[in-house]
């Protein structure tokens, strides 16, 4: 498939301040994992302090932000994502609809199973916390002109050549986040936040949900109360 080419002059007309409230899902087993290793709250606090000291430093921020917001920016994952090359600074990803956020998590859980030889024939069970971030800042929106003219470049399955290039060009122009169409849930809109200052935890914090995930090499299921979603790979 030959992707439609985009050109840098699209930034001249395709940059504007925008906002979005987006769902993000993260694994929720960290507290359980550390609790198993200690006998009381004091030991737990000491262990948490040791773990925090072992992590890369938090990004420089103008004010306090919740760890769910700034954590992606402190790491440089070895695997690439849609708008980030392998080994470069992390980004905060979210989706406008909860279903799309679940679909994105499901894709990466399947990738995890398939990339782990010892898990290829196993059912992997995990818990995930979904929460909302309020995004506001200078953005490009790949779902509207002129950017939508290269939609086939932005929505390739695992070829990130064009999305990496546009994200790097956007960062050079101090674009803070990118709105784009989800590849895992076509038609839904997602956000890739390049600048930690452009996202904050939704103030009331009452929208958090815990979902259970069952992943294997064939399917991924996401469950929360009466809500059920399943994907076949």
Burial of 52 (0-12, 13-18, 19+ CB in 10 A): exposed
Of 16, 164, 10, 30, the residue nearest 91 (C-alpha): 164
Looking at residues 213-218, what average pLDDT do you find? 96
State pLDDT tens for residues 133-185: 999 999 999 999 999 999 999 999 999 999 999 999 999 999 999 999 999 99
State the pairing for strand pair 209-215/199-201. unpaired
- Give the C-alpha separation, 69 to 49, whole Å: 19
Per the CB < 8 A criterion, the answer to whether 131 and 204 are in contact is no
Residue 203 — pLDDT band, cuts 50, 70, 90?
confident
pTM comes to 0.89
Read off the pLDDT band of 28 (50, 70, 90).
confident
* pLDDT number for residue 4: 76
Looking at every residue in the chain, the average pLDDT score rounds to 90
Mind listing the pLDDT tens digit for each residue in 65-112? 999 999 999 999 999 999 999 999 999 999 999 999 999 999 999 999
Percent of the chain exceeding pLDDT 70 equals 86
């Amino acid at each position: 498939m030959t992707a439609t080419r985009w050109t840098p002059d699209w930034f001249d007309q395709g940059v504007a301040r925008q906002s979005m409230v987006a769902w993000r899902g993260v694994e929720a087993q960290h507290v359980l994992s550390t609790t198993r290793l200690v006998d009381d709250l004091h030991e737990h606090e000491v262990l948490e302090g040791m773990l925090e000291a072992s992590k890369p430093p938090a990004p420089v921020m103008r004010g306090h932000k919740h760890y769910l917001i700034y954590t992606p920016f402190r790491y440089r994952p070895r695997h690439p994502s849609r708008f980030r090359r392998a080994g470069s600074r992390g980004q905060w990803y979210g989706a406008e609809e909860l279903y799309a956020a679940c679909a994105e998590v499901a894709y990466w859980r399947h990738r995890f199973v398939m990339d782990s030889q010892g898990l290829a024939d196993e059912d992997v069970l995990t818990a995930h916390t979904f929460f909302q971030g309020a995004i506001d800042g200078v953005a490009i929106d790949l779902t509207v002109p002129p950017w939508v003219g290269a939609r086939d470049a932005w929505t390739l399955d695992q070829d990130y050549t064009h999305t990496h290039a546009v994200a790097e060009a956007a960062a050079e122009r101090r674009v803070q986040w990118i709105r784009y169409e989800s590849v895992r849930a076509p038609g839904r809109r997602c956000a890739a936040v390049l600048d930690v200052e452009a996202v904050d935890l939704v103030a009331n914090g009452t929208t958090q949900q815990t979902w259970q995930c069952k992943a294997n090499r064939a399917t991924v299921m996401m469950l929360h109360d009466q809500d059920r979603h399943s994907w076949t790979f």
